[in-house]
Amino acid sequence: KGLLDNTLIVFAGDNGFLPGDKGWFNKGVLFERACQVPLMISHSGMDRAGERCERVVEFVDVFPTITELCGIENPTDQLDGTSLVPLLRDSESDWNELAHTWYGYDRSIRDQRYRYIKWSETDDALYDHKNDKGEFYNLVENPEYAELVKRMRKELENLPKRE
């Protein structure tokens, strides 16, 4: 009795397979359906229990979230993640973080609306999740999105290279 008064619960799942979508049947692709995973956090200090948040976050955000909720000082100069506590308090709070995904040498960056994928030196894609949740229409060659593509490419180029 009273156990939930001082308990933090974090539930995270694994990413799924693309069961034949886009001709793929594996996990090693960077499309939205293969990259999304469930993440649930419950803490006794939360007054918005059960609220769903549709923001784009990363698993590296879990550690700084746990330390903040537990009142433990973060070694912030060594962390890549951002605490999710503002989103736990208000799912509509200001959140402009980007999510990065790697698979081998392929890389992806996702904001609240767009996913940009860099498959190779010459092959890339941009998808608008507001208008194309299934990622059927690659906008990378569309001149209306040239500045966005340029910004997303630069963001990926600024990431540390994986060995």
pLDDT tens digits for range 143-157: 999 999 999 999 988
pLDDT at 101: 86
Q: Distances from the Cα of 103 to the Cαs of 8, 73, 133, in angstroms? A: 31, 32, 21
Encoding tokens for residue 94?
């200001």
Q: What is the pLDDT of residues 74-120, one digit of tens each?
A: 776 777 788 999 998 888 888 888 888 888 788 999 999 999 999 87
Distance in angstroms between the alpha carbons of the first and the last residue of the chain: 49
3-state secondary structure of 148: helix
pTM above 0.85, yes or no: no
